[in-house]
Structure 1
């Protein structure tokens, strides 16, 4: 049997503040960014100390490998990053050097936007050569993914009930994407340039569906909303509604406590530790809303089982 492996793909994060300019050039594919944007990102990293994305993703990979071994599968798990070390290209080359012939490739962004997840896929394909790959494009409706988020949400609701005597309403979020990229994709496939609409890119619908699946598993939620967070600073419109405008509307309904749960991120990083824990919390406080969040999935065993299941299905397809 050919040597098989699993490759997990993630965004990547710089190791030091000094590396942020180079990292940001990777994020925007070499396009110039205003200096004030670079300085703002540096400020955010300084406030959170560091982003643990890489080390958590490597830990997730070890958990997935342990799951596969426990089920009798001999498949090493590799981790590659699109925007920082270990770069996807370097990891794929190492896999080939290690003699890997077949690989299940999973992007750790469950909701598929062809303009973002597609970049990960192309980065793998560019170095794959004779390596046979099965790429999981999206897994927004994976039941174990919803289970993992629901576990974290139920734990947070338990804390809120103990403190306030009642469960809190929930604001689910996912990372925004530029309107222009979605519209360009829609136009390419003959769809109208509308957002949100029923166009070519499935991202918004998939993100909202993940939120629905999590909410179904936590029926004590009195009410929930959905918003897109972390709109970019590189110019042009990004899809919404934004978290800020949604919180403003929620405040108008008299809500005083809310749980904000990102359902597009699988671990702590700057969009959690700064955007949620600092910026959104401060914005909510000005509206006299107490904002808390469930713990991130990080090294959730349920998440590891979800990814291991995707890997097994991918490896099985390579045998067909």
Structure 2
């Protein structure tokens, strides 16, 4: 399968204080989120000058990708400029006929996969009959470079702890929580199982036989059940058990965006400091050259007909074969009516 371009498709984020509230309204449109909740989330962005790190990280990743491929690389978002619809129209006008689409989510499920398929369909429809064919690359939660980057970041984080605490530090993986009704939407708990599978691979690669998997950044009314335990609640449990040091690995995110730098580097760190627990946070792939190389390898799997590169783990691999060439994880993923978490990683 030949390609004449690459589209990096992401969530989007504000790049100035005046953009924060319109961006959040885009993200939550149709969900009935009260204004006071938007005001509270807006404060997270305003703490960083109203600029989300996500667009800058994606642009840096695109530059890394351009150094590895001769294909033109385009950038489009779901919720903020550059919008996917505008980018695909530009691709059409530039004569692009078929592009590989890399979504900045490693996961299956609705928010991590199917909603990006909806973005692709919507952007192509907006571009009209001459829209380029857009082929979404597969999920990559078990790709060797994905596992390697997180394993290395855990080792680096451990090195930032006081030497006497490194050997006794508890490894905690975290990913964005979602409502339980959304978690079971694309097959039984597909997203949860994939995060758990990847955590197992990364922990093994990093040399940790024991670890925890928790969730973060939930929103919505408290009566709606979400994936648990919450990372803050889990830190309380670890503190009560006498844990002196924790390494937090945000495996559910591919960039250090607002929900990493606020929820973990700000709120969780304050909690850890108050409890006297040493906390080290592993970095995400961000714009590492290895992340760009991962994208090229995903493209070459389709372009050259190569077998998928995967780290060996327990069978069956959850969601194996999902999202290749526009396929949904299951037919249950196809309808549009699902809640949309406000995670920039999705």
TM-score (norm 2): 0.79
Q: 1:194 matched to which residue of 2? A: none
Distance apart, 1:257 and its partner CA: 0.8
Which whole-Å deviations, capped at 9, do the CAs of 1:80-106 have from their partners, x for residues lacking one? 111111111111111111111111112
Q: 1:224 matched to which residue of 2? A: 211
The separation in 2 between residues aligned to 1:152 and 1:255, in whole angstroms, is 21
Q: 1:242 matched to which residue of 2? A: 230
Q: Is residue 41 of structure 2 the alignment partner of residue 41 of structure 1?
A: yes
Which whole-Å deviations, capped at 9, do the CAs of 1:193-223 have from their partners, x for residues lacking one? xxxxxx435101111111111111111x374
The separation in 2 between residues aligned to 1:98 and 1:241, in whole angstroms, is 48
The separation in 2 between residues aligned to 1:48 and 1:293, in whole angstroms, is 19
Distance apart, 1:116 and its partner CA: 4.2
Q: 1:182 matched to which residue of 2? A: 183
Extract unaligned runs of 5+ from structure 2.
306-324, 326-346
Distance apart, 1:174 and its partner CA: 0.8
The separation in 2 between residues aligned to 1:16 and 1:116, in whole angstroms, is 26
The separation in 2 between residues aligned to 1:166 and 1:125, in whole angstroms, is 49
Match of 1:297 among 285, 288, 294: 285
The separation in 2 between residues aligned to 1:116 and 1:252, in whole angstroms, is 34
Q: Say if 1:53 and 1:213 are closer, same or farther in 2 by CA, change over 3 A.
A: same
The separation in 2 between residues aligned to 1:31 and 1:20, in whole angstroms, is 18
Q: Higher mean Cα deviation, 278-287 or 90-99?
A: 278-287
Which whole-Å deviations, capped at 9, do the CAs of 1:245-267 have from their partners, x for residues lacking one? 22122223211111111012111
Task: For 1:9-20, list aligned pairs within 5 A.
Answer: 9-20=9-20
Which whole-Å deviations, capped at 9, do the CAs of 1:8-40 have from their partners, x for residues lacking one? 111111112332222122212343421211111
The separation in 1 between residues aligned to 2:165 and 2:238, in whole angstroms, is 19
Q: Say if 1:163 and 1:65 are closer, same or farther in 2 by CA, change over 3 A.
A: farther
The separation in 2 between residues aligned to 1:316 and 1:135, in whole angstroms, is 16
Match of 1:125 among 121, 125, 132: 121
The separation in 2 between residues aligned to 1:65 and 1:121, in whole angstroms, is 24
Q: 2:105 matched to which residue of 1? A: 109
Native 8 Å contact 1:267 1:297 kept in 2: yes
Q: Say if 1:264 and 1:143 are closer, same or farther in 2 by CA, change over 3 A.
A: same
Q: Secondary structure at the match of 2:20?
A: helix
Q: 1:264 matched to which residue of 2? A: 252
Match of 1:283 among 271, 289, 306: 271
Q: 1:78 matched to which residue of 2? A: 74
Native 8 Å contact 1:134 1:315 kept in 2: no
Aligned residues: 299
RMSD between superposed Cα atoms in Å: 2.3
Q: Say if 1:299 and 1:162 are closer, same or farther in 2 by CA, change over 3 A.
A: farther
The separation in 2 between residues aligned to 1:110 and 1:222, in whole angstroms, is 23
Q: 1:61 matched to which residue of 2? A: 62
**Higher helix content, 1 or 2:** 1
Native 8 Å contact 1:160 1:167 kept in 2: no
